[in-house]
Amino acid sequence: MSGSLAAKMADGEYESVLCVKPEVHVYRVPPRASNRGYRAAEWQLDQPAWSGRMRITAKGNVAYIRLEDKNSGELFAQAPVEQFPSIAVEGVTDSSRYFVIRIEDGNVRRAFIGVGFVDRGDAFDFNVALQDHFKWVKQQSELAKQAQNPNQGSKLDLGFKEGQTIKLNIANMKKKEGVPGSRPRLAGSGGPSFIPPPPSGKPSFVPLPGELLSSHPAQSPEGASQTEASAPWPQPCSSTTEAAAADIWGDFTKASGSVSGQPPQSTGWVQF
């Protein structure tokens, strides 16, 4: 589509150029026998009735399709379009390059002629030029209505209706301290948590076998387990056993002497 936007003053209104195509062909359109639509194959496409230039202009809300001579610019025919799509411009059923337009003269006489483009891109630009113009016309009409009645515009109501409620589903919001089965972590440490010591405060090492007898308390505390309460208390040792245990070298020192209370016996040892 040509991007020329030349404008001129005419009857107090600006006339803008929407599209210019340098080569188009005009065909005679036979009367339509039914409502099935126009077909370009019936137009004798190898024998166009006229060839020239197409220029689409806009004046106010109306678009004008002008067919002009290539060299002199003399107007051959003009088709005013007040709405698109409409009966003023119709496409054919068997091609995208051909259209039927309704032309008018100064005496309001009308006729239908066929228009064809050499390239499909030109036909596409012809369609887009008309669509963009009437899209702009629609926007201008809506803006004018809003300017006349600014208070009638729809407003967005975000308030709650009577009896209306909402439900919020917030996940992962439980406090870690309240989750059952979780173990406390040491403050300021990123390492793994350790199991605290037993509540009794006793060391967790295992006593040696020699220390087992002396490690029992004199009296079983309240709340002790059944195993500790039923364990037998150690019996007091006799004085003889304690004396023998206290002097483990007595057998060697008394080998040459006599047992207390008995006369010495000859053992075969020679005393010096």
For residue 155, what pLDDT is reported?
63
Which amino acid, 213? L
Phi-psi category of residue 148: left, alpha or beta, with phi > 0 → left and psi -120 to 50 → alpha: alpha
Contact 116, 97 (CB under 8 A): yes
68 in a structural domain: yes
85 in a structural domain: yes
Distance CA 76, CA 92 (A): 22
Angle at 122 between CA 39 and CA 113, to 5 degrees: 40
Q: Which residues of the chain have pLDDT under 70?
A: 1-12, 151-156, 172-272
State the residue range of the domain holding 64: 7-31+38-146
155 in a structural domain: no
Residues 35-67 as b/e (b if ≥16 CB within 10 A, e otherwise) read eeebebeebeeeebeeebbbbbbbbeeebbbbb
Contact 62, 80 (CB under 8 A): yes
Number of domains in the chain: 1
Burial of 92 from C-beta contacts in 10 A (0-12 / 13-18 / 19+): buried
For residue 168, what pLDDT is reported?
79
Quickly count: other Cβ atoms within 10 Å of residue 174's Cβ: 8
136 in a structural domain: yes
157 in a structural domain: no
For residue 215, what pLDDT is reported?
47
pTM above 0.85? Answer: no
Give the single-character DSSP code of 86. Answer: B
Task: Determine the distance from the C-alpha atom of residue 94 to the mean position of all C-alpha atoms in its chain, rounded to a whole number.
Answer: 45
158 in a structural domain: no
Residues 6 or more apart in contact with residue 192 via CB below 8 angstroms: none
Residues 6 or more apart in contact with residue 26 via CB below 8 angstroms: 48, 49, 50, 51, 52, 67, 76, 77, 113, 114, 115
Output the domain CATH number for residue 88.
Answer: 2.30.29.30
101 in a structural domain: yes
Distance CA 18, CA 81 (A): 13
Task: Please name the residue that has the structure tokens 């379009």.
Answer: 81
For residue 68, what pLDDT is reported?
95
44 in a structural domain: yes
Contact 78, 107 (CB under 8 A): no
Quickly count: other Cβ atoms within 10 Å of residue 256's Cβ: 10
SS3 helix, strand, coil % of the chain, rounded to 5? 20, 25, 55
